[in-house]
C-alpha cells in the first residue's frame, strides 16, 4: 500500500524570499521524513503577481488577456522551481511541474478560468518514483489537445483552488493551506486586534466569509472542498501551532449566532440620478452590465417622485471604469439626469449560519453602527449574512464596534468541544 498523501499549499508571503523558500523546504523535508507522500502547491513569491500586473500596465492600458495569463503564470513557475532546488539542496528528491504538466485542465477563460478536470497521471508517476511533486498554483491549460492549448489563470488567490482540486483528484488524506496567519479568525486579524482564531468553521460560513471579502481562502477553493468533502486545514507557515479546520460543522444549529465578520474594499457605488420610473428601465441598465461581465451586487431603487427615481448599485472597484464606459451611453439614451460614482466605500458583513431564523441581529448591527457614528449607505441580506455599505474611512471603526457588540472574542463552549473532537 502506498503511504498517505498530503497536499500542502504555501501562499505568497510564505515563499517571499530565498530564506523563506528554504524554510518551507525544511518543513517539507520533515513531513517527508514522517513517511508521507507530498504534493506541494505554491503561489508566486510575495507581491510578484501585483508586480507583473504593474509591468503589463506600464506597457499598455489594455493588455491582451492571453499574453497577460502567460506572464502571470511565470510567477508561480519561479517559486515552484526554486522550492524544488531548495529541496534538492536538502537531499530530498523533488520535481516542479507547471499547472499544465500537472494535468490541470480549465475552461479556457483568461484571467478567471475554472478547473474543468484534472488528469494527474504525471503527478502520480512522479510520486511513485519517490519524489515530492511541486505544482505551480493558480494556472492550468485550456484543453486536452496538445497542439493548441493555452495557459490560463484561475483568478486572484487561485492557488488555494489548485490545492483543493488536487487533493480531491488524488484522494489526499489531508489538504493543508499554509499562510501568514494562524488560521481563520472571527475578523481579519490585521484590522481587529481582538479577533479570535476559530478551531473549526463550517463550509457554508467559510464560503460566505470568502464571498464577502475574507481573502484568506479563495471562494472556489471552499466550494470545491465542500462538494468533495475535503477537510481543509488553514495554518501558519511561520510557527508550529494548530490551525483552523474547514469542514462540515454539525454544531451550527445549536450555535445560532454570528460566527465572524468580513469586509471588502474592492467595491464602488454607482448611482443613476433621476431615471424615468417605468417598466424596462432596470433591464436596459443591467443587461449591458451583464454582457460586459460586470458583477453587480447590492441594488437599491428609491421610491419614485414625479415619474423619476434614483437607482444605486455596487460593482467591484476594479470594474468601475468599465461600468462607467458601459453606462454613459445608456444614461443619455434614458434621459437620466446624471451618473455619479463613489469608490471610497466598503462593505462590512456579519456572517453566521443561524442568522436567518434568529431575530434581532439586523437591529443590533444597525444600532451598533449608529452608536459608532457610522452611516449606512446600503444594506443587503442573505440567509447567512447581513451586509452594510459604509464609507471606507469608517471601516476599521465599524469592524471593531461590531466585533465587540457580537462578543466575538469570547470562545464558545461548543467550540472547545469541537476543537477536541477535530484535532485530537
Ligand atoms: P496567501 O498569500 O498565503 O494566500 P492571503 O493574503 O491570500 O495569503 O490571505 C491571508 C490574509 O487574509 C491574512 O494575512 C489576513 O490579513 C487576511 N484575512 C482576512 N480575513 C481573515 C480572517 N477572517 N481570518 C484570517 N485571515 C483573514
Ligand atoms: N499569485 C496569485 C495571486 O496573487 C495566486 C495566489 O496567490 O493564490 O493572486
Ligand atoms: Mg491567498
pLDDT of residue 422: 42
Say how many Å lie between the CA of residue 285 and the centre of ligand 2: 33
Confidence of residue 235 (pLDDT cuts 50, 70, 90): very high
pTM of the model: 0.93
Instruction: From residue 135, give the alpha-carbon distance in Å to each of 52, 68, 162, 365.
Output: 20, 20, 9, 43
pLDDT, mean of residues 29-45: 96
pLDDT of residue 253: 59
pLDDT, mean of residues 23-45: 96
| The three cell numbers locating residue 251 | 454544531
Is the CB of 158 within 6 Å of ligand 2?
Answer: yes
Structural domains of the chain, with CATH = 5-251 (3.40.1160.10)
Alpha helix positions (H), 292-334: 320-334
Please give the biggest Cα pair distance in the chain: 78
The pLDDT of residue 339 is above 90 = yes
The pLDDT of residue 423 is above 60 = no
More confident residue, 254 or 176: 176
Instruction: From residue 199, give the alpha-carbon distance in Å to each of 212, 241, 247, 343, 392.
Output: 21, 11, 11, 36, 30
* Pocket probe mutation, ligand 2, options 74, 80, 138, max atoms within 8 Å of Cβ: 138
Q: How does pLDDT run across 373-394, given as a tens digit for each residue?
A: 999 999 999 889 999 999 999 9
* Average confidence score pLDDT of the chain: 93
Q: How does pLDDT run across 178-203, given as a tens digit for each residue?
A: 999 999 999 999 999 999 999 999 99
More confident residue, 120 or 303: 120
The closest of 364, 358, 357 to 404, measured between CA atoms, is 364
Say how many Å lie between the CA of residue 363 and the centre of ligand 2: 38
Beta-bridged to residue 140, according to DSSP, are: 152
Ligand 2 atom with the smallest distance to the CA of 44 is 1
Left if phi > 0, otherwise alpha if psi is -120 to 50, otherwise beta: which for 290? alpha
Is the CB of 138 within 6 Å of ligand 2?
Answer: yes
Is the CB of 153 within 6 Å of ligand 2?
Answer: no
Residue nearest to atom 5 of ligand 2 (CA): 157
Confidence of residue 354 (pLDDT cuts 50, 70, 90): confident
The pLDDT of residue 255 is above 70 = no
Instruction: From residue 54, give the alpha-carbon distance in Å to each of 57, 112, 414.
Output: 5, 18, 46
Is the CB of 159 within 6 Å of ligand 2?
Answer: yes
Residues with CB under 6 A from ligand 1: 11-14, 43, 157, 179-181, 184-185, 187-190, 209, 214-216, 260
Amino acid at each position: 500500500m502506498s503511504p498517505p498523501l498530503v497536499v500542502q499549499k504555501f501562499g505568497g508571503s510564505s515563499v517571499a524570499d530565498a530564506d523563506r523558500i528554504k524554510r518551507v523546504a525544511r518543513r517539507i523535508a520533515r513531513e517527508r521524513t514522517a513517511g508521507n507522500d507530498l504534493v506541494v502547491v505554491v503561489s508566486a513569491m510575495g507581491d510578484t503577481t501585483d508586480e507583473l500586473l504593474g509591468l503589463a500596465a506600464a506597457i499598455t492600458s489594455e493588455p491582451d488577456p492571453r499574453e497577460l495569463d502567460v506572464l502571470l503564470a511565470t510567477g508561480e513557475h519561479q517559486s515552484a522551481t526554486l522550492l524544488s532546488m531548495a529541496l534538492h539542496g536538502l537531499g530530498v528528491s523533488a520535481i516542479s511541474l507547471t499547472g499544465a504538466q500537472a494535468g490541470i485542465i480549465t475552461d479556457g477563460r483568461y484571467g478567471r478560468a475554472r478547473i474543468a478536470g484534472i488528469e494527474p497521471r504525471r503527478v502520480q508517476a512522479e510520486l511513485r518514483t519517490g519524489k515530492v511533486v511541486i505544482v505551480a498554483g493558480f494556472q492550468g491549460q485550456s484543453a486536452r489537445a496538445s497542439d493548441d492549448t493555452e495557459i490560463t489563470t484561475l483568478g486572484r488567490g487561485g492557488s488555494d483552488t489548485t490545492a483543493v482540486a488536487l487533493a480531491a483528484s488524488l484522494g489526499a488524506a489531508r489538504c493543508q493551506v499554509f499562510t501568514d496567519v494562524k488560521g481563520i479568525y472571527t475578523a481579519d486579524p490585521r484590522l481587529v486586534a481582538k479577533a479570535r482564531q476559530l478551531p473549526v468553521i463550517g463550509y457554508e460560513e467559510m464560503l460566505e466569509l470568502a464571498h464577502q471579502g475574507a481573502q484568506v481562502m479563495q471562494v472556489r477553493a471552499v466550494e470545491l472542498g465542500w462538494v468533495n468533502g475535503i477537510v481543509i486545514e488553514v495554518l501558519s507557515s511561520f510557527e508550529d501551532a494548530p490551525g483552523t479546520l474547514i469542514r462540515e460543522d454539525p454544531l451550527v444549529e445549536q450555535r445560532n449566532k454570528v460566527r465572524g465578520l468580513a469586509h471588502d474594499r474592492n467595491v464602488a457605488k454607482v448611482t443613476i440620478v433621476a431615471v424615468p420610473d417605468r417598466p424596462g428601465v432596470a433591464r436596459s441598465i443591467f443587461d449591458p452590465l451583464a454582457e460586459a461581465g460586470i458583477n453587480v451586487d447590492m441594488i437599491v431603487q428609491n421610491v419614485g417622485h414625479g415619474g423619476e427615481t434614483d437607482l444605486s448599485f455596487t460593482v467591484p472597484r476594479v470594474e468601475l471604469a468599465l461600468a462607467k464606459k458601459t453606462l454613459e451611453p445608456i444614461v443619455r439614451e434614458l434621459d437620466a439626469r446624471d451618473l455619479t460614482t463613489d469608490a471610497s466605500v466598503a462593505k462590512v458583513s456579519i456572517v453566521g449560519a443561524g442568522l436567518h431564523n434568529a431575530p434581532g441581529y439586523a437591529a443590533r448591527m444597525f444600532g451598533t453602527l449608529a452608536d459608532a457614528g457610522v452611516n449606512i449607505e446600503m444594506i443587503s441580506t442573505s440567509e447567512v449574512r447581513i451586509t452594510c455599505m459604509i464609507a471606507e474611512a469608517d471601516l476599521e471603526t465599524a469592524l471593531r464596534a461590531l466585533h465587540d457588540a457580537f462578543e466575538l472574542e469570547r470562545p464558545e463552549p461548543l467550540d472547545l468541544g469541537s476543537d477536541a473532537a477535530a484535532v485530537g
